[in-house]
Chains A and B, each alone.
Chain A
Amino acid sequence: MKIHVTDQAGENHELEGLEGWRVMEVIRDWGLNIKAECGGALSCATCHVYVDGEWMDRVGAPSDEEEDMLDSVGDVKSNSRLSCQILMNEELDGLRVTLAPSAAKD
């Protein structure tokens, strides 16, 4: 299972996504520039990504709580998601996301 991540510097990375893992965990464990301060507890919004247009439907819509959390970043777009709220599964094999500037470590 693969995910394709474009980092803040515009570089592309192909990562091995594990079934049942959060997309945030995959990106973090590969050492890309994602802060993910709260470890996936939907309390920080520092795992913000933009989901590639053609994947939007399969990823689904954010919950109300996730929308509230997205208020705490200044670079939200219509395809914004918190990557700790997207679970890897077969359906998402090939997923493409871009790391938002606000997800960067200090």
Chain B
Amino acid sequence: MSTEITTDVVVIGAGPCGLFAAFELGLLDIKSHFIDILDRPGGQCAELYPEKPIYDIPAFPVVTGQQLTDNLMAQIAPFSPEFHFSRMVNSLEKLPDGSFRLTTDADEIFHAKVVVIAAGGGSFQPKRPPVAEIEQYENKSVFYAVRKMDDFRDQDVVIVGGGDSALDWTLNLQPIVRSLTLVHRRDAFKAAPASVNKMKELVMEGKIQFMLGQIAKLDGKDGQIDHVHLTTDAGDLSVPATRLLPFFGLTMKLGPVADWGLELNDNTIVVDTENFETSVPGIFAIGDINHYPGKLKLILSGFHEAALMAQAAKKIISPDERVVFQYTTSSTKLQKKLGVA
């Protein structure tokens, strides 16, 4: 059965720009729900550069991608936005009464008066290894994440990669599989040293195999693989396998956003700079995903866009309410909302 959620605003994308929108909306008493395909907030900052320093956030001489995300989460906490992670927004349609209906791949339906698209460079999706016809095996015998451990019980599993996901799942799955082969292109790993040591112990004990190489080809039929062919320095070889888990990290894809009937400009959504509304009234686009003359893809720009968007969203959500412009420094009303007065 699908879950139905009704709210003022749905924000698609919990990157820095989307997150700050929860603050600007919250000051105007607007409740927001967030949907993101990642399993945590922060968008590019959390996924692509959590440890790298950012130097151009006003009043922060230096802040890392993860620190910025953590600070934004703390700043918006008083407004209790609700997060729905690990799901992708598939469809967005306008209903006759002017409100919106969104569906996700987790079988949820959201009803909202306003939609804010803060989808950045697109939705994060697993990188596919460049292997012919891999698509036909995906979600049947080739998986990019472990959702149910039981899918791997008593299977011949091949895991590819040298990062934390590859090593963590090697250690977690080893006790329940029939056989496990870890494949990595070199003998150095990006994963936590403790996991690497544990993996090496398992190899010594003969409980798993480690192979230096890369996957070249898959054999199988009807979505079920039976062998994985590897290219190794010692030559080509084939390993019996009923499950393959490639862990090459994530890449951004525009995805379904392109199909929602909005005016686009080369993979970005055209907006009006007065309020960052798209070509469909009630749908706004802020942050890296939008386009207007002079647009700079900076976090700073997305923050500014969020503030103007919120004012316009308020007029749609509460058309009869007069909004008085106030500063957080001097307004006790705003301070009460923030829980500081």
Q: Enumerate chain A residues within 8 angstroms of B249, measured Cβ to Cβ.
A: 45, 72
For the complex, what is the distance from the CA of A46 to the CA of B48, rounded to whole Å?
A: 12
Mask: chain A, 31-47; 1 = CB below 8 Å from B; 0 = not = 00001011001011110
Q: Enumerate chain A residues within 8 angstroms of B186, measured Cβ to Cβ.
A: 67, 71
A72 and B49 in contact, given A67-B186, A106-B253 (Cβ under 8 angstroms)? no
Q: Is B78 an interface residue (CB 8 A)?
A: no
Secondary structure at the B interface, as helix, strand, loop or mixed, is: loop
A-B contact count (CB 8 A): 55
Q: Is B30 an interface residue (CB 8 A)?
A: no
**B52 with A41: CB separation less than 8 A:** yes
A71 and B52 in contact, given A46-B251, A106-B253 (Cβ under 8 angstroms)? no
Shortest beta-carbon distance from B70 to chain A in Å: 19
**A74 with B215: CB separation less than 8 A:** yes
**A75 with B214: CB separation less than 8 A:** yes
Contact of A37 among B121, B185, B215, B248 (CB under 8 A): B121
Shortest beta-carbon distance from B299 to chain A in Å: 14
For the complex, what is the distance from the CA of A68 to the CA of B249, rounded to whole Å?
A: 12
Mask: chain B, 158-171; 1 = CB below 8 Å from A; 0 = not = 00111100000000
For the complex, what is the distance from the CA of A65 to the CA of B52, rounded to whole Å?
A: 13
Q: Is B256 an interface residue (CB 8 A)?
A: no
**A101 with B130: CB separation less than 8 A:** yes
For the complex, what is the distance from the CA of A35 to the CA of B121, rounded to whole Å?
A: 12
Secondary structure at the A interface, as helix, strand, loop or mixed, is: loop
For the complex, what is the distance from the CA of A45 to the CA of B185, rounded to whole Å?
A: 15
**A72 with B188: CB separation less than 8 A:** no
**B160 with A38: CB separation less than 8 A:** no
21 contacts between A and B (CB under 8 A): A38-B48, A41-B48, A44-B48, A44-B251, A46-B251, A67-B188, A71-B161, A71-B184, A71-B185, A71-B186, A71-B190, A72-B127, A73-B130, A73-B248, A74-B130, A74-B131, A74-B214, A75-B129, A75-B130, A75-B214, A76-B214
Binding site for A on B (CB under 8 A): 48-49, 52, 121, 127, 129-131, 160-163, 184-186, 188, 190, 214-215, 246, 248-249, 251-254
A43-B48, A73-B127 provided; 6 other pairs, C-beta below 8 A?
A44-B251, A70-B185, A72-B163, A75-B214, A101-B130, A102-B127
Binding site for B on A (CB under 8 A): 35, 37-38, 41, 43-46, 67-68, 70-76, 101-102, 106
